[in-house]
A and B are shown apart, each in its own frame.
Chain A
Amino acid sequence: MYQGPNFFHSIRIQPPEKEIYARLGFRKGITELNPAERDAINRTIEDAAGLVSIKGAARVMGLRSVGENGVTLEDETVLPSRALAVMLAGSSGVLLMGATAGPDVMEAIASCSMGDLTRAVILDAVASEMTDAALSWIMDYVGQDLLRSARRLTRKRFSAGYGDFSLENQWDIYTLLSLGSIGITMTPTCVLIPEKSVTAVAGVLSLT
């Protein structure tokens, strides 16, 4: 499966409330929030979820080699990162994945950034967490399919920009996933647009 990228044009997930609150700095047992404030925040989260329109892409590729300082994919693409190589140790392949929250929520954030920043920061947190949750969704989806051929995914995933896996690697991932097909573009500085767009790599393990 997934010889080319597989696109998901409408990933339906609920806003992960716990993660959204945590991202906004909520600490259970410490942060004090009265019912009216919580209601107002939850309503904004609901509104934000209505503006988020998640699309994603996934591609399973074989691994040619896993070295000490990086990995080489079946098409000779090299991803130079010691940390990534450690995560992919024992993997026979990789899952490349990308997801975006879409442009509508970004427009909403921009339009209320000056007049209603409180709403903007909540929208921003919802979009971030839903995009991240979309990667988990893609991993669940692909993982379930891999199980039928006695394979599974590593529990962790790794994104360009973390540790020694430099952000420039996003070029290769962007190209291999054809992220332009789901409306994502990339700037020369490797920033994905819409802003709430992410990519990641996970390992494919063979069951024995």
Chain B
Amino acid sequence: MNTRQKILNRIRRKVLILDGATGTELQALGMPHGMSPELYSITNRDATLSVHRGYLDAGSDIIYTCTFGANRYKLAQYGITDVHDVNRRLAGFAREAAGRKGLVAGDMGPTGRFVEPFGDLGFEDAVACYKEQALALLEGGVDLFVIETMIDIQETRAALIAVKEVADVFTIVTMTFDRTGRTLNGTDPVSALTTLQSLGADVVGCNCSAGPAEMVPLIALMKPHARVPLAAKPNAGLPRLRDGKTSFEMGPLEFGGFAPAFVEAGANLLGGCCGTTAEHIRALKEECSTLRPKPASAAPGSALSSHARTVVLSREAPLTIIGERINPTGKKDLQEELRSGMFSLVGYYAREQVKKGASILDVNVGMPGIDEKSILRQAMQKLVLNSDAPLCIDTSRIDALEAALRIYPGRALINSISGEEDTIEERLRLAAFYGSMFILLPITGRSLPKTALERRKIIRDVFRAARAHGFTKEDLIVDALTMAVSADGQAALETIKTIGWCSYAFGSHTVVGLSNVSFGLPERKWINSSFLAMAMASGLSCAIANPESIELMNIKHAGDVLTGRDKDAAGFIGYVSRQPHQALLVTGSEKPESMGERLAKAILNGDRDSVPALVDGAIGDGMKARVLVDEVMIPAIEKVGELYEKKTYFLPQLIASAEAMKSGFERLEPLLAEEGNSSSIKGRIILATVKGDIHDIGKNIVGLMLKNHGFEVIDLGKDVPHERILGAVREYEPDIVGLSALMTTTMVNMEEIIHLLQESGITCGVMVGGAVVTGDFAEAIGASYARDGVDAVRVAQGLVEKRRI
């Protein structure tokens, strides 16, 4: 029996006990703050052995080597370069302490760098780093590996792949989740589990994070999806300040008391992280002595993951849409982009398809004249940064497939593996190594199997080959093969039969490339939608389709309800309520009586696009431009100001209304001039953000508000020198100078400008504002203070009135 089997047998019988903290224990034994624990351990062998033995005596079945930070990047921070020696020797210490009393896990932690596409460390550099460490740990005598305290799923994958490529050794992988229930890089526990267990981790779990109370729910979240045992290694609660000293809050008994909750949640291995001691582990061991762990491997395996989301396929779940648009076939703009190594359209298609309801994105960059391996790899990286939908890798090239699978930070879907003799073994090998799901394409030779009967035979044959690589039916999705009904009137029915057989006899998920069915026919959307409804009734799991087709998505959501896959029709109701016409019903409930009223309402609602037409309509109804401004638009914008001051409106609504007002003014300007009203401005104001300051959004808001209230605004921009302001004042002779500053270092310029104005004998009003400016400061420098855009209008009106008295 090998070590893997021995450990798994023990896990079936009892809760395995891991060790507790190493860093804080070494600190207690005298390790200075800020020193490398690995360096301290090597130079303090007895202290290290004492920590290991303390845990073994307390009941640890597995102890971790003190090599958490013994990778090349971390050690380099302390000037240590001999990675091999550090790991080999520290593994030897743990081996010496454990003897035959316990197992030794070679501990590998984060590099402190983030791996591409999330960071600047190359994926293969990360793999090489962990291989170097793993080889030395093996040489030092470890029985298994533990990859722990990881926050970057890509780095975690690199470490696990490194171990797999070094040796076939039992490996525990635990990640650290923060108070939001995700890693700092945004990975949730279920996605981490899905990715890591499919990639070959023998145990998955959480460590560090927070205390046991916060970790129990994370284990409970993972358990329904776990095909491997789960590990939990929490801190001794959170550090608390008590009597002037900061320490971990949880004592051994309280810590051990969480064991039943962990086991009930599904944990099979328990230990402690920061702040835990041998006494904490002893308490855990005692609590676990009577507990029986829940078995692993009960969970369904049809799940795909990205770095931040898991999509589970099940008979009960709604139809899954695999977005088909990232494919250059028939898209000239995408072809051009890919040829020039650009990926903005790839990102755009990803975002749009997910918005419209795709759960998985098919990625196909195949076309003549490109390096598909390189382009696919880059496209995958772009997509990972643009979307959290799991990806379906659609390529006929083995090298491109491997490059994509290697760097994809999730569990991907391969599109596809057929019965072709030349490729089936290599493709299955890749799928197995990277733990992917795959689409089983029932094709063997050049001709397509026409009937469901022929397809059934190929499906069985390919599955038999896949089973030899460890796959189950849950790891694959059968493509039922969609042919054009324009060429063969029976084609759709054969596909439907294949779907039915897979769903109810063979027991696998199914997918169709929907639009093939309507090839060559007009108004294809109706054929596609009808075919989808028929396929759903036969048990279809997924459709590769364009989610931007409204007809298709309507049928999908309705079909989910009718096939019992949308409990209480909640998904359908949510979908319908998100459609634009519903929003219109909410916003446009009353019919205005006149153009003027509709215009006022448009300004109140910030409906800028409607305003010019409504202005035209009101003028067409015979209203004078000045009357429209004074009796409709100004009262409307004043109402907006009131609503803003009462906080019924917030800033975006205020600005949207102001912009609607502005578009009305722009429409009316020629008419106002014709009516002889061009001179009826309320006042003239010069606005500027002072020298040295580049912040201007607040000033722009003030400018917009003032214009809407009849002021002539001369905006000098930002970072404006004093002399330019003075020159503009002389040129335009404004009623007011409005100055903005956001920084303490630049607000002093306001005072200097006021002095300059006074020295020049200029008597206009000065209004100041900005984040750091206060009423007291304004008063001290002899200016008026405006709190915000609405206040600025009031202050400006007051200053103008004062000048006219």
Residues of chain A with a CB closer than 8 A to B696's CB: 113
Q: Which of A9, A50, A109, A190 contacts B351 (CB 8 A)?
A: A50
A161 to B582, CA, bound (A): 47
A39 near B583: Cβ-Cβ < 8 Å: yes
Of B420-428, B442-450, B492-500, B645-653, the one with at least 4 CB within 8 A of chain A: B645-653
B694 near A187: Cβ-Cβ < 8 Å: yes
Of B94-102, B452-460, B740-748, the one with at least 4 CB within 8 A of chain A: B740-748
A39 to B581, CA, bound (A): 13
The 7 lowest CB-CB distance pairs between A and B, nearest first, are A189-B692, A36-B583, A25-B650, A148-B23, A147-B274, A208-B245, A150-B27
Contact with B along A194-208 (1 / 0, CB 8 A): 010000000001111
Residues of chain A with a CB closer than 8 A to B398's CB: none
B694 near A191: Cβ-Cβ < 8 Å: yes
Residues of chain B with a CB closer than 8 A to A10's CB: 114, 117-120, 385
Residues of chain A with a CB closer than 8 A to B543's CB: none
A34 to B772, CA, bound (A): 33
Instruction: Considering the complex, give the chain A residue whose CB is closest to the CB of B186.
Output: A12
Interface residues on B, range: 35 or more
A10 to B385, CA, bound (A): 10
Q: Indicate whether A168 reaches chain B with its CB closer than 8 angstroms.
A: yes
A189 to B747, CA, bound (A): 10
Q: How far is the CB of A200 from chain B (nearest CB, A)?
A: 16
B745 near A191: Cβ-Cβ < 8 Å: yes
Q: Indicate whether A6 reaches chain B with its CB closer than 8 angstroms.
A: yes
Q: Which of B27, B184, B648 contacts A149 (CB 8 A)?
A: B27
Of B194-202, B545-553, B654-662, the one with at least 4 CB within 8 A of chain A: B654-662
Contact with A along B769-781 (1 / 0, CB 8 A): 0001000000000
Q: Indicate whether A180 reaches chain B with its CB closer than 8 angstroms.
A: no
Residues of chain A with a CB closer than 8 A to B606's CB: 37, 118
Instruction: Considering the complex, give the chain A residue whose CB is closest to the CB of B178.
Output: A140
Q: Indicate whether B33 reaches chain A with its CB closer than 8 angstroms.
A: yes
Q: Indicate whether A193 reaches chain B with its CB closer than 8 angstroms.
A: yes
Instruction: Considering the complex, give the chain B residue whose CB is closest to the CB of A25.
Output: B650
A140 to B244, CA, bound (A): 23
Q: How far is the CB of A187 from chain B (nearest CB, A)?
A: 6
Residues of chain A with a CB closer than 8 A to B21's CB: 148
Residues of chain B with a CB closer than 8 A to A34's CB: 583, 586-587
> A residues touching B (Cβ–Cβ < 8 Å)?
1-3, 6, 8-10, 12-14, 21, 24-27, 30-37, 39, 41, 50, 60, 62, 90, 92-93, 109, 113-114, 116-118, 120-122, 124-125, 137, 140-141, 144-145, 147-152, 161, 166-168, 187-191, 193, 195, 205-208
B694 near A193: Cβ-Cβ < 8 Å: yes
B586 near A31: Cβ-Cβ < 8 Å: no
Residues A150 and B33 in contact in the complex (CB < 8 Å), given A8-B114, A36-B587: yes
Q: Which of A31, A116, A147 contacts B650 (CB 8 A)?
A: A31
Q: How far is the CB of B192 from chain A (nearest CB, A)?
A: 15
A113 near B700: Cβ-Cβ < 8 Å: yes
Residues of chain B with a CB closer than 8 A to A32's CB: 648-649
Q: Indicate whether B145 reaches chain A with its CB closer than 8 angstroms.
A: no
Q: Indicate whether B563 reaches chain A with its CB closer than 8 angstroms.
A: no
Instruction: Considering the complex, give the chain B residue whose CB is closest to the CB of A115.
Output: B659
Residues of chain B with a CB closer than 8 A to A205's CB: 239, 246
A189 near B656: Cβ-Cβ < 8 Å: no
A148 near B745: Cβ-Cβ < 8 Å: no
B235 near A147: Cβ-Cβ < 8 Å: yes
Can you list 26 A-B pairs with a CB-CB distance of less than 8 A?
A: A27-B647, A34-B583, A34-B587, A37-B653, A114-B700, A117-B697, A118-B606, A120-B697, A121-B701, A140-B184, A141-B151, A147-B24, A148-B23, A148-B274, A149-B24, A149-B33, A149-B37, A150-B23, A150-B24, A152-B246, A167-B745, A189-B743, A193-B694, A195-B695, A207-B239, A207-B246
Q: How far is the CB of B690 from chain A (nearest CB, A)?
A: 10
A12 to B701, CA, bound (A): 31
B692 near A144: Cβ-Cβ < 8 Å: no
Q: How far is the CB of A170 from chain B (nearest CB, A)?
A: 9
Q: Indicate whether B185 reaches chain A with its CB closer than 8 angstroms.
A: yes
Q: Indicate whether B176 reaches chain A with its CB closer than 8 angstroms.
A: yes
A114 to B402, CA, bound (A): 48
Q: Which of B21, B28, B178 has the most A CB atoms < 10 Å from its CB?
A: B178
Q: How far is the CB of B345 from chain A (nearest CB, A)?
A: 14
Q: Indicate whether B386 reaches chain A with its CB closer than 8 angstroms.
A: yes
Contact with A along B684-708 (1 / 0, CB 8 A): 0000000011111100110010000
Q: How far is the CB of B45 from chain A (nearest CB, A)?
A: 20
A3 to B11, CA, bound (A): 42
Q: Which of B209-255 contact A (CB under 8 A)?
A: 235, 239, 244-248
Residues of chain A with a CB closer than 8 A to B275's CB: 147, 150, 207
Q: Which of B24, B77, B577 contacts A148 (CB 8 A)?
A: B24
A116 to B652, CA, bound (A): 11
Q: Which of B33, B37, B651 contacts A151 (CB 8 A)?
A: B33
B114 near A9: Cβ-Cβ < 8 Å: yes
Q: How far is the CB of A8 from chain B (nearest CB, A)?
A: 7
Q: How far is the CB of A175 from chain B (nearest CB, A)?
A: 17
Residues A1 and B112 in contact in the complex (CB < 8 Å), given A37-B653, A187-B694: yes
A121 near B697: Cβ-Cβ < 8 Å: yes
B701 near A189: Cβ-Cβ < 8 Å: no
Instruction: Considering the complex, give the chain B residue whose CB is closest to the CB of A9.
Output: B120
Instruction: Considering the complex, give the chain A residue whose CB is closest to the CB of B347.
Output: A50
Residues of chain A with a CB closer than 8 A to B245's CB: 208
Residues of chain A with a CB closer than 8 A to B235's CB: 147
Q: How far is the CB of A66 from chain B (nearest CB, A)?
A: 15
Q: Which of B23, B239, B692 has the most A CB atoms < 10 Å from its CB?
A: B239
A30 near B648: Cβ-Cβ < 8 Å: yes
B119 near A144: Cβ-Cβ < 8 Å: no
Q: Which of A1, A14, A36, A121 contacts B186 (CB 8 A)?
A: A14
A101 to B338, CA, bound (A): 28
Instruction: Considering the complex, give the chain A residue whose CB is closest to the CB of B36.
Output: A1
Q: Indicate whether B584 reaches chain A with its CB closer than 8 angstroms.
A: yes
B246 near A206: Cβ-Cβ < 8 Å: yes
Q: Indicate whether B400 reaches chain A with its CB closer than 8 angstroms.
A: no
Residues of chain A with a CB closer than 8 A to B247's CB: 207-208
Q: How far is the CB of B66 from chain A (nearest CB, A)?
A: 11
Contact with A along B323-367 (1 / 0, CB 8 A): 000000000000000000000000000010000000000000000
A145 to B149, CA, bound (A): 9
Residues A122 and B178 in contact in the complex (CB < 8 Å), given A149-B37, A191-B694: no
Known A3-B77, A207-B248; further 7 A-B contacts with Cβ < 8 A? A9-B120, A117-B655, A148-B21, A150-B24, A150-B28, A191-B693, A207-B24
B652 near A24: Cβ-Cβ < 8 Å: yes
A190 near B745: Cβ-Cβ < 8 Å: yes
Residues of chain B with a CB closer than 8 A to A144's CB: 149, 151, 176, 184, 208
Q: Which of B116-134 contact A (CB under 8 A)?
A: 117-120
A32 to B274, CA, bound (A): 47
Residues of chain B with a CB closer than 8 A to A62's CB: 34
Q: Which of A21, A36, A92 has the most B CB atoms < 10 Å from its CB?
A: A36
Residues of chain B with a CB closer than 8 A to A21's CB: 650
B34 near A149: Cβ-Cβ < 8 Å: yes
A93 to B28, CA, bound (A): 19
Q: Indicate whether B68 reaches chain A with its CB closer than 8 angstroms.
A: yes
Q: Which of B239, B386, B655, B746 contacts A118 (CB 8 A)?
A: B655
Instruction: Considering the complex, give the chain A residue whose CB is closest to the CB of B242.
Output: A208
Residues of chain A with a CB closer than 8 A to B650's CB: 21, 24-27, 31, 33
Residues of chain A with a CB closer than 8 A to B697's CB: 109, 113, 117, 120-121, 124
B694 near A141: Cβ-Cβ < 8 Å: no
Q: How far is the CB of B382 from chain A (nearest CB, A)?
A: 12
Residues A189 and B745 in contact in the complex (CB < 8 Å), given A32-B648, A92-B33, A141-B151: yes
Q: How far is the CB of A128 from chain B (nearest CB, A)?
A: 10
Contact with A along B16-50 (1 / 0, CB 8 A): 00000101100110010111010000000000000
Q: Which of B564-599 contact A (CB under 8 A)?
A: 577-578, 582-584, 586-587
Instruction: Considering the complex, give the chain A residue whose CB is closest to the CB of B606.
Output: A118
Q: How far is the CB of B59 from chain A (nearest CB, A)?
A: 23
